Chains A and B, each alone.
Chain A
């Protein structure tokens, strides 16, 4: 009897402790409904406050001053779609975007910000300017076709339909892809194809990349990188 009591005591002590600690974030994939609800509740961003957070958050050490990436190690954030920036920061915070150890820094940082902070950071970077890149040569005919028309035989919607005629970004969370490095774009397309990046709502990008060959993805990455390595 006494033993049972002690046993109970231990459990009583344990239960609230388990709850007081950090709970592992649930990393369920986005359903369109959950995402629309999150978008609807997104706080309005304050770019001035975002500028300050970008400074104390050390974002510039990897993403560059004003969000223009100084190297191929991290993407540019300048002139990126604000909703997309907010969404990816949420995805790092919940670790839904967890492709490999390259994301560690983003996981550690995103956790230290509130939703309001993330909205402010997004507002700040969305309003920075990307330097105009000189247009280099066009893609080959096949790549150009995928970009503009897609490939109905494989149910591939054209990139332009979502990402805009020049890859400048589209509605809701569709990001700008023009202006990133080849290395970054190739990495993301590969991660989507392999399913290691799976934070896309309704598996949209996974669906597109699954149908395309590695060679096609490589050419698409070069096309949008527009001469940037």
Chain B
């Protein structure tokens, strides 16, 4: 059921009279926003909802006591950044933004009764529910690969944390002249330039410590974002395209798609049936919406959650918003920046519903950065509009490949600044 204006006024109870009550008493009657997932989308929503509205009761359900940012996690592989630098707690959300954070997993939605059920057996009531569980990995897409292997000697490291450190250890302790295979997934997946950034950072380290090592990128796509920029840089630094190349890239049109993993033989098998043995195998599996979205029927038989493109209400139930990587929001890309922009917009929608104010026409932006090295950065900005019942890309501004070393270096410092200020925007 959607709240209309009158319901909202009722929710505020005796209206003016309640303003005189102490905050705690008023909070009991306040409308409730419950957020499943305290990642980038969920945390941004909690913060910006509070900034817009001081009365709403906000609850975040998130099983982990800390969040580790993925943006910046490739730099961990190159010793530039530590996992600690990327780790935040929920203290600021709790204390500065007055959100209740329940450290449990959400397991079910009672749509009719407006409750979320948690792993600890709680029933958390909501007026609006927002779901931002991120993606899950489709291990089955690569025969022989599994979550257990990912947690062992074949980390995907596509969620920053122990796997990132494991991958770092594996490739840094490789024998001289060893080979790293990175299997890049098909679209859509979170942060499209990140596999190539990862390869570049590893190469920079290997060039210094294991100069005869090789990195082979086996791609399930025929091309990738910033391809010309990366190839320029690789030619310049890593002999790309020559017999002594440290980085090689094989697109899907040349048989790059990885179909199978033989863990015992440390070998991947490509679509062409070619067997490639490697010292370190980093398979980044294809993705679909997080498990919670499937378990609760939000996906309606699809891989990602269908949403109303204007306000991100799920097709399944308009009182349930879905945002972040889990939402099917083409042509938006799956980045943290987009997740945070969706969150800011959903806060306006809810605030609008509470106050009877029309939130107007949304302008969403994606503002993404990538690096090829500490002297080479890239930036892309997309703006999106709601038009004719759809989300449309309004404009894309992308850093063209440049041979100006000053500009490339300046872009790298912009990329670093982006990461720092983005973390602060979401969690401070």
Q: In the complex the two chains form, is A18's CB within 8 Å of B208's CB?
A: yes
Q: In the complex the two chains form, is A112's CB within 8 Å of B375's CB?
A: yes
**Given A14-B209, A21-B208, A58-B406, are A105 and B176 neighbors across the interface (CB < 8 Å)?**
no
Q: In the complex the two chains form, is B416's CB within 8 Å of A104's CB?
A: yes
A108 to B375, CA, bound (A): 7
Could you tell me which residues of chain A, from 1 to 37, have a CB within 8 Å of some CB in chain B?
9-10, 13-14, 17-18, 20-22
A15 to B414, CA, bound (A): 33
A108 to B405, CA, bound (A): 10
Could you say which residues of chain B place their CB within 8 Å of the CB of A9?
176
Binding site of A, secondary structure by majority: helix, strand, loop or mixed? helix
Q: Tell me the minimal C-beta distance from A78 to chain B in angstroms.
A: 20
- Report if A167 contacts B (CB, 8 A): no
User: What 0/1 readout, one digit per residue, does chain A (94-136) give for beta carbons within 8 Å of chain B?
Assistant: 0000000100110111011100000000000000000000000
- Report if A170 contacts B (CB, 8 A): no
Q: In the complex the two chains form, is B210's CB within 8 Å of A13's CB?
A: yes
- Report if A64 contacts B (CB, 8 A): no
Q: How many residues of A contact B (CB 8 A)?
A: 21
Could you say which residues of chain A place their CB within 8 Å of the CB of B242?
none
Q: Tell me the minimal C-beta distance from B253 to chain A in angstroms.
A: 35
Q: How many residues of B contact A (CB 8 A)?
A: 22
Could you tell me which residues of chain A, from 152 to 183, have a CB within 8 Å of some CB in chain B?
none
Q: Tell me the minimal C-beta distance from A36 to chain B in angstroms.
A: 30
A56 to B409, CA, bound (A): 12
A10 to B208, CA, bound (A): 13
Could you say which residues of chain A place their CB within 8 Å of the CB of B362?
none
Identify which of B212, B406, B420 contacts A109 (C-beta below 8 A): B406
Q: Tell me the minimal C-beta distance from A64 to chain B in angstroms.
A: 16
Identify which of A10, A105, A113 contacts B410 (C-beta below 8 A): A105
Counting chain B CB atoms within 10 Å of each CB, the highest count among A20, A101, A104 belongs to A104
Could you say which residues of chain A place their CB within 8 Å of the CB of B410?
58, 105, 108-109
**Given A58-B410, A104-B416, are A112 and B405 neighbors across the interface (CB < 8 Å)?**
yes
Q: In the complex the two chains form, is A112's CB within 8 Å of B208's CB?
A: no
**In the complex, given contacts A14-B210, A105-B414, what are 14 additional A-B residue pairs having Cβ atoms less than 8 angstroms apart?**
A9-B176, A10-B176, A13-B210, A13-B211, A17-B211, A20-B208, A21-B209, A56-B404, A104-B416, A108-B374, A108-B409, A111-B375, A112-B406, A113-B406
Which residues does A use to contact B, with CB under 8 Å? Answer: 9-10, 13-14, 17-18, 20-22, 56-58, 101, 104-105, 107-109, 111-113
